[in-house]
Amino acid sequence: GNSVTQMEGPVTLSEEAFLTINCTYTATGYPSLFWYVQYPGEGLQLLLKATKADDKGSNKGFEATYRKETTSFHLEKGSVQVSDSAVYFCALSDRGAQKLVFGQGTRLTINP
Amino acid sequence: ETGVTQTPRHLVMGMTNKKSLKCEQHLGHNAMYWYKQSAKKPLELMFVYNFKEQTENNSVPSRFSPECPNSSHLFLHLHTLQPEDSALYLCASSQDWAGGGGQYFGPGTRLTVT
């Protein structure tokens, strides 16, 4: 079956550091890939997405590239801010299927 | 109002109570979802509705009863819950399939069962 694996958290960084959160997936078809972010006390927000191989999703300074050869969709940001502290979820959806398969989430804390 | 809204945001109920959670989406989507988010557990899909019809019930106990009167509204009726049902309940919506557009989530209802 389909699955998503994220790097274990929690991750703690200093402000302006470079961020990478690893995400790899297993899927039988050609999935779409997503990153969601959950700020404290809130629901999940769609951060970025990519629907085919080599697509790059980007939003709010975050980027992730759909790598079919390595089945990965790593999240990166060049310079993090305290306001980026949240839980980040990687997810996939098979084409024609409605279910999103989520990773377990990675808690990110940015210290000033 | 835009996006996906949920009410109430917080709910405390006893095990013998009956309560309902409400979700409304203002995105023109045709599919709606209920998820359960517990501490230290992966996000759990509970129910899926497409064009008001239930298309997925992920082995959810009968003490949780969903209702979808139209494509914009989704309810979760709760009765005789257990303390382990305490969690954040998230509603989401999407176009009729989530492959390209993704799902859009509400802020959740934090439920505490005493």
Show pLDDT as tens, one digit a residue, over chain A (112 residues): 889 999 888 999 999 999 999 999 999 878 899 999 999 888 999 999 998 999 999 999 999 999 999 999 999 999 999 999 999 999 998 766 667 889 999 999 999 9
Residues of B in contact with A100 (CB under 8 A): 45, 98, 102-103
Closest of A14, A30, A51 to residue B101, by C-alpha: A51
Judged by CB atoms closer than 8 Å, whether chains meet at A43 and B6 is answered as yes
Whether A29 and A46 have beta carbons less than 8 Å apart is answered as: no
Judged by CB atoms closer than 8 Å, whether chains meet at B106 and A43 is answered as yes
Mutate to test the interface with A, among B38, B51, B103, B110 (most CBs of A within 10 A): B103
Residue A26 vs residues A65, A92, B70: alpha-carbon distances, Å: 16, 9, 35
Residues of A in contact with B50 (CB under 8 A): 98
Judged by CB atoms closer than 8 Å, whether chains meet at B107 and A42 is answered as yes
Whether B32 and B86 have beta carbons less than 8 Å apart is answered as: no
pLDDT tens, residue by residue, B98-112: 556 688 999 999 999
Residue of A nearest to B97 (CA): A98
**Rounded to an integer, what distance in angstroms lies between the CA atom of residue A17 and that of residue A44?**
24
A56: β partners: A65
